[in-house]
Chains A and B, each alone.
Chain A
Amino acid sequence: MPTTGNPVLNLSVFAVFVLITLYIVYRVSSRNVTASDYYAAGSSFTGAQNGVALSGDFLSAASFLGISGGIAAHGYDGFLYSVGWVVAWLVGLLLIAEGLRNTGRFTVGDVLAFRMKQRPVRAAAANATLVISFFYMIAQMAGAGGLIALLLNVSSKWGQALLIAVVGMVMVLYVLVGGMKGTTWVQIIKAVLLLLCVTLMSVFLLGKFGFSLSAIMQQATENNKLGEAVLDPGAKYGFSAMSKLDFVSLALSLVLGIASLPHVLMRFYTVPNASEARRSVVWATWTMVIFYLCTLVIGFGAMALVGTDTIAAAPGGENSAAPLLAFRIGGAVLLGIVSAVAFATILAVVAGLTLAASASFAHDVYANVIKRGNVEPRREIRVARLTAVVVGVLSILGGIAANGQNVAFLVSLALALAASANLSTILYTIFWRRFNTTGTLWSIYGGLGSCLLLIVFSPVMSGAKTSIFPDLDFAWFPLGNPGLVSIPFSFLCGFLATVLSKPEADKADLAAEMEVRAISGIGART
C-alpha cells in the first residue's frame, strides 16, 4: 500500500531520534543522585523550557493524530474537541500552578497532605495518581499499537505487540537513566519538532490555497460525504438528547481535567519558583494555541486533499489523517519525519507518566506511608526506579491488551478521573482554610470512586457495539463520560465531609503556613 510510505525510512528516522535523545538524556543526567534531581530535575528548568515541556505532555499522539484526524473525519465536532485543550490551561494558570509550586516538592501528595494527617491522605493521593496515570498510559500505549500498524505496515498482532514492548522498554530507559531531567529534555525536543512539523505543514497548505482557510474548507466539503454539513456541529456527537449531554460532560472533563493530571502537576516542580511556574503556563498556552490552529488547518487540509473516505479506509483509520496528508504533500520523506515525531510523542508522554506514577508510589506510599518518613533518599530513589520498571511492564501488557481500543475515549476517561479526584481537593486545600483530613479523603475517594463506578456502568464498558464488552449489558448510566456527575459530586463530598466533621485545631499552624506559602511564596523554600 503506497499510503504507508516506506517503513524502513520511517523506522530509521525514528531510530535516529531515539539515539539522539538517549544520548542527550545520558549527558544531562550523569549526576542523577538526589531525590530532587530524580523527581523534579533539581528544580533547575526555566519557565520557558518547562512551558514547552508542559505543552509536550499534551501534544500526545492522541491530540496530534487524534484531533487532526477528528477534524478530517468530522469537521466541526473534531475542532470542538481541541478548544477545551487550550482553555484548560487557564485553570492551571489561575488556580493551580503557583499554589502548587509553593507548597509541594515532588508529588501531588505533598500538597494534599501538607496540613492533613499524613498517612491516609498520602495513600489516597497516591491511589488517585496511580489510577489516573494507568488509564492515561493505557490510552497512549493502545495508540502506539494503531500507529505502528499504520506507519510500519506491521499488521500482525504479534508484530505489533513486539513493537509496543520495544516502545515501552525505550521509555523505561529514559526514565531510569534520565529521571525528570532527561524526561523533560525528551519532551522539549519532541515538542519543538512537532511544532515545527505542524507549522510548516499548515503554512504550506495555506499557501497552496491562497492563504484562505475558507478555501481549504470549501474544498474539504467536496471530499466529505456530508458536504457542507460537516462544517456544522453534530457530525460526530449526533443530535439525541443523551449524546448532546454526553458531549457537554466530555467538554467539562476536558477543561477541568487537563490541569489536574498528576504528570502535569508534577511538571510545576521542575522550575525554581512560582513566578517561573506562571511563566511556564504562559509558554504552554502560546504553544498550544499555535498547535491547535495548525491542527485545524491540517485536519481540513487532509479532508480536502486526501478525502475522508480514503482516510477512513487506511490502516489506522481517522488517526492516519495527518500522516497521509504528509505523504500527499511531502512524499515518503515527510511521512517518515511525521511518523517519527508521532512515535517520539508517545515515548515522551509515556515516560512522563511512568515518572509521575513511580514518584507517587516511592515518595508517598513507600517513604511516607510505609516507612513513615524515615527513609534514605537513595533508597527511595531505588524504589522509584524499581517502580518505574514495574509500571513499564504493566503498561506494555496493558497496551498490548488494549491495542485497537478507542484511544480518545480512554483519554477522556482519564481526564474525568483527574478532574474528579484532584481538582476539588487541590482547590479546597489551597483556598479553604476550614478544609480538613476528613474532607480531603472524601473528596479524593468520592470523586475517584463515583467516577470509576459510573465508567463501569456506562456504555463504554457494556451494552453497545463499541463497548469493551459488547456482548454483555450491565450499563445503567447513559453517559460515556461521567465528568458531569462525578466532578460536582467530589466538590460536594469534600464540602459536606468538612462541615460535618470537627475542625482540626491542632493543624491551625500548618493551615496558616500553607495559606501564606501558597499565596505569597514566602517560606516556600524552607
Chain B
Amino acid sequence: MTKAMRSPGEAQHEYREIRGFASFDDPEALSYVDSNGNPNFELIRQTDEFRTLRRRLTSFIFPMTALFLSSYLTFVLLSAYAKDFVSTKVIGVINLGILLGLGQFVTSIIITLGYSRYAKRRLDPQRKLLAEKTGVEE
C-alpha cells in the first residue's frame, strides 16, 4: 500500500534503462511492455492507433467547446447589451431571452448526448484496439 501511495512520477524511473531488452518468450508483445511489466508509453504514443485516437478526441472536444462557449457567451452578451431584442415577446409573456436561455439547456443536452454517442462509437473501440495492440490494459 505504501507503494501505491507514492506519486505516479516516483515509481516510473526504472523502466528507462530496461527499454530495448527483448525477452525470449514474446518479443512482439514486449516491445510495448518491459520485463517489469511497465508500459513503454513513449512507444505507445507513437503508434498509429494512438495518433488516430488523439485526433478523433481533439477534433471533437475542442470545436465543441468553442461552439458551446460562444453560444453561451452570445446569450450572456445579448442579455446584457441587447435588452430590447431579448425582451421581444414570443409566446404569451415569454420573451425571446427566456427561450434563448432554455435553448442553452437544450444544446447542453444535445452536446452531452452527442459526445457520449461519439465516445461509444468512435473513441472507445479505438481505445480497445490500442489496448489489444500494446497489451496494456486499462
Give me the interface of A with B, judged by CB distance under 8 Å. Answer: 34-35, 76, 79-80, 83-84, 86-87, 89-91, 93-95, 103, 105, 110, 113-115, 118, 122, 212-215, 217-218, 221, 228, 231-234, 237, 239, 244, 247-248, 251-252, 255, 273, 275, 278-279, 281-282, 285-286, 289, 292-293, 367-368, 373-377, 380, 431, 508-510, 512-513, 515-517, 519-526
Contact = CB atoms under 8 A, between A and B. Distances in A.
Contacts of A214: 91-94
Contacts of B131: 520, 522
Given A93-B115, A377-B1, A247 B76 contact: yes
Interface in B36-90: 38-39, 41-42, 44-45, 50, 53-54, 57-58, 60-61, 64-65, 68-69, 72-73, 75-77, 79-81, 83, 86-87
Nearest to A103: B8
Contact of B65 (A91, A237, A275): A91
A373 B80 CA distance: 50
Nearest to A292: B105
B39 A526 contact: yes
Contact of A281 (B2, B16, B112): B112
Contacts of B113: 282
Given A76-B97, A520-B127, A255 B69 contact: yes
A519 B57 contact: yes
B29 to A, nearest CB: 14
Contacts of B35: none
Q: How large is the interface on B (under 10, 10 to 19, 20 to 34, 35 or more residues)?
A: 35 or more
Given A217-B94, A516-B44, A516-B45, A115 B9 contact: yes
Given A94-B60, A114-B9, A520-B127, 13 more contacts: A83-B75, A87-B68, A90-B111, A234-B83, A239-B83, A247-B79, A248-B76, A282-B116, A289-B105, A431-B58, A509-B41, A522-B127, A522-B136
Contacts of A375: 2, 5
Contact of B105 (A83, A273, A281): A83
B6 interface: yes
A80 to B, nearest CB: 6
Which 9 pairs between the two chains have the least Cβ-Cβ distance?
A214-B92, A513-B41, A232-B87, A512-B41, A251-B76, A512-B42, A244-B80, A94-B61, A373-B6
Interface of B: 1-2, 5-10, 12, 16, 38-39, 41-42, 44-45, 50, 53-54, 57-58, 60-61, 64-65, 68-69, 72-73, 75-77, 79-81, 83, 86-87, 91-95, 97-98, 101-102, 104-105, 108-109, 111-113, 115-116, 119, 124, 127, 130-131, 134, 136-138
A377 B77 CA distance: 50
B93 A231 contact: yes
Contacts of A35: 1, 5
B94 A275 contact: no
A90 B86 contact: no
A509 B43 CA distance: 10
A212 B77 CA distance: 28
Given A89-B112, A215-B92, A279-B116, A110 B9 contact: no
28 contacts: A76-B97, A76-B98, A83-B104, A90-B65, A90-B108, A91-B65, A94-B65, A94-B115, A95-B61, A114-B7, A118-B9, A232-B97, A239-B83, A247-B80, A248-B76, A251-B72, A275-B124, A374-B2, A375-B2, A513-B39, A516-B39, A516-B41, A519-B53, A519-B57, A522-B127, A522-B136, A522-B138, A523-B136
A34 B92 contact: no
Contact of A523 (B10, B39, B61, B91): B39
A244 B50 contact: no
B50 A520 contact: yes
Contacts of A512: 41-42, 44-45
Contact of A94 (B12, B64, B94): B64
Contacts of B109: 285-286, 289
Contacts of A377: 1-2, 5
A375 B97 CA distance: 56
Nearest to B11: A526
A460 B30 CA distance: 60
Contact of B77 (A248, A281, A508): A248
A252 to B, nearest CB: 8
Contacts of A278: 115-116, 119
Given A215-B92, A516-B45, A380 B5 contact: yes
Contact of A212 (B6, B75, B87, B92): B92
A231 B95 contact: yes
A217 B12 CA distance: 61
Contacts of A509: 12, 16, 41-42
Contacts of A510: 8-9, 12
| B65, B91, B98: most-surrounded residue (chain A CB, <10 A) | B98
Nearest to A84: B72
Given A285-B112, A521-B138, A523-B41, A228 B101 contact: no
